[in-house]
A and B are shown apart, each in its own frame.
Chain A
Amino acid sequence: MISGEIALYLFMLAAFTGHEIISRVPVILHTPLMSGSNFVHGIVLVGAMIALGEATTVTQQVIGFIGVFLGAGNAVGGYVVTERMLEMFKSSKKEGAK
């Protein structure tokens, strides 16, 4: 368990971090970055796994299964799509440097 007070600090510091790391992003990276941050909240998978792992009733197992299914889709899909977008940036970068 995390105490409410410590959690509040965590929220605050993480919010500033999120704001800071992308405050000077060129427009061309908005789409990949949105996709990339979409991947990062795929960490919800871990939470869903624990919810399913703690399930004591069938209802909870069903909900947990849905949660894990959706969370894994978020993580895997988010990664694949972002990787594909950024792959193209790399090749165009190379050509630009020629």
Chain B
Amino acid sequence: MDKSALLQHAVHASYFVAAVLFILGIKRMSSPVTARSGIQWAGVGMVVATIATFFHGSILNHPGVVTNVVLMVLAIGISTLFAWVSGKKVAMTDMPQMVALYNGMGGGSAAAIGASALIGAATAPEHHALGTTQIALAVIGALIGSISFTGSLIAFAKLQGWMDKTFRFGGQQVVNGLFFLSALGLGAALLFQLDTTIVVAFFAVSLLFGVLMTLPIGGADMPVVISLYNAFTGLAVAFEGYVQGNVALIIAGTVVGAAGTLLTRLMAKAMNRSISNVLFSNFGSGGGGSSEIAGSQKPIEAADAASLLYMAEKVIIVPGYGMAVAQAQHKIWELSQQLIKRDKEVKFAIHPVAGRMPGHMNVLLAEAGVPYDLIADMDDINPEFATCDVAIVIGANDVVNPVARTDKSSPIYGMPILDVINARQVIVIKRGKGAGFAGIENALFYADNCRMLYADGQEAANRLIAELKGIDSAGGH
């Protein structure tokens, strides 16, 4: 065997090693104990595959190897710098949109591979001939990748607050449907005639469709959408991998596509929505107003709230995304420590979709230093509300709204909730009287055992800590 053939075997062997490391890495990431090493294993696989690619025959034996490799190094260099700095700097609360951004980039990259293959076959068939199956998969991969690319960018812009939450017009679904059908039509046309104009038109329509498809989806549904686009990118990568005959892309892409689809379904289930519901229904705008709730919201002062806490034996804290936005998680943990010091039992109850993605709230609490064992999942904690003296709801709204259990006409009916209302006393820390993400009045706030502490999350926690200390020094001696 000559030297260059040996080198190519080594390159392909490195792809095999990368594929194995990716699968083992994801496997390890699915358990909290091994999660951290999982990403490192996958990282090693990525580095090995990337370095090996510089020695790939298609690159090395190309007449324009120098220019192309220079361009490659330049692109990787600039992009790495951008991604490294932005990834390191971003606050934990903004993590979901960064995942969306990087995911969109992957989708765009897959679409670019498809574009390059199709345009190559159209303009220089003597160098870049493609079989029918290859064209078909290049087209499908490019379509999915393009949707993931522009769709994720819209998701990023929405979560980043650069764009209105929703954008709707009459007949939107018909227009979107037409765009999708034209993308499919143009893609199908490429099977019969590989023409540069059609390729360009196909990409223009596909990219635009990704934008149109994502615009009407509200912020509350973004996690499901990001997860779905993550699966999309995986599939796009797998299809373009087939076009290039690259096993690493096929395996890694398909694994992510399948895992991502499952994750998306789990997330949608946790929000009691189906994926098609998320994509094609206008949440909160149908339904016509929810039923009026009798009674009033009863305010409470920090001093009174503190004495309730002082007397309590068991306190459950229910954090929501509002707490993270107010950056109050550190203060809330400080408050919890004050309570624990006074021999209270303190637990954190986490709704599956608290935060912007399932598990996001756990990440945020972990960042504030809250130990693992104080954090409980919804199913474990729900029976405990009945035995709890005070439940503190901070920055959570829809996930504690009892109408999800009682009011069949409510848009959130059937969504699993935390049974905060069963607690002896509920204190809701909230900035004002507004409704939640879903725009629905919260029956909990009007309940007899509920008091509203109107304040910013950090400020409320500060005042409660101060009042608790005040009670100590007044009555403790």
Contacts and interface: CB of A to CB of B under 8 A. Distances in A.
Interface in B75-90: 75-76, 78-80, 82-84, 86-88, 90
A11 to B, nearest CB: 5
A57 to B, nearest CB: 6
B211 interface: no
B26 interface: yes
Contact of A37 (B84, B109, B260): B260
B270 to A, nearest CB: 7
Contact of B244 (A26, A47, A74): A47
Contacts of B65: 53
A49 B32 CA distance: 34
Contacts of A55: 64, 68, 116, 120
A11 B254 contact: yes
Given A22-B262, A38-B230, A95 B82 contact: no
Contacts, number: 397
Interface string A57-98: 101110111111111111111111111111111111101101
Interface string A25-56: 11111111111111111111111111111111
Contacts of A24: 30
B376 to A, nearest CB: 11
A7 B240 CA distance: 12
A68 B35 CA distance: 28
A87 B88 CA distance: 12
Interface in B1-26: 15, 18, 22-23, 25-26
B95 A31 contact: yes
B283 interface: no
Contacts of B244: 47, 50-51
B108 A70 contact: yes
A35 B418 CA distance: 26
A15 B86 CA distance: 32
A41 B95 contact: no
Main secondary structure of the interface of B (DSSP, over half): helix
A93 B362 CA distance: 12
A81 B99 contact: yes
A77 B59 contact: no
B71 interface: yes
A52 B113 CA distance: 9
B26 A33 contact: yes
B233 to A, nearest CB: 5
Contacts of A61: 67-68, 71
A34 B49 contact: no
Given A4-B133, A10-B250, A73-B83, A30 B258 contact: no
A18 B262 contact: yes
Nearest to B79: A72
B79 A79 contact: no
B26 A69 contact: no
A47 B26 contact: no
B366 A70 contact: no
B363 A88 contact: yes
Given A27-B362, A68-B75, A84-B88, 7 more contacts: A4-B133, A15-B254, A15-B255, A44-B249, A72-B79, A92-B366, A92-B371
9 contacts: A22-B263, A31-B362, A40-B252, A41-B256, A43-B46, A43-B253, A47-B240, A64-B68, A79-B46
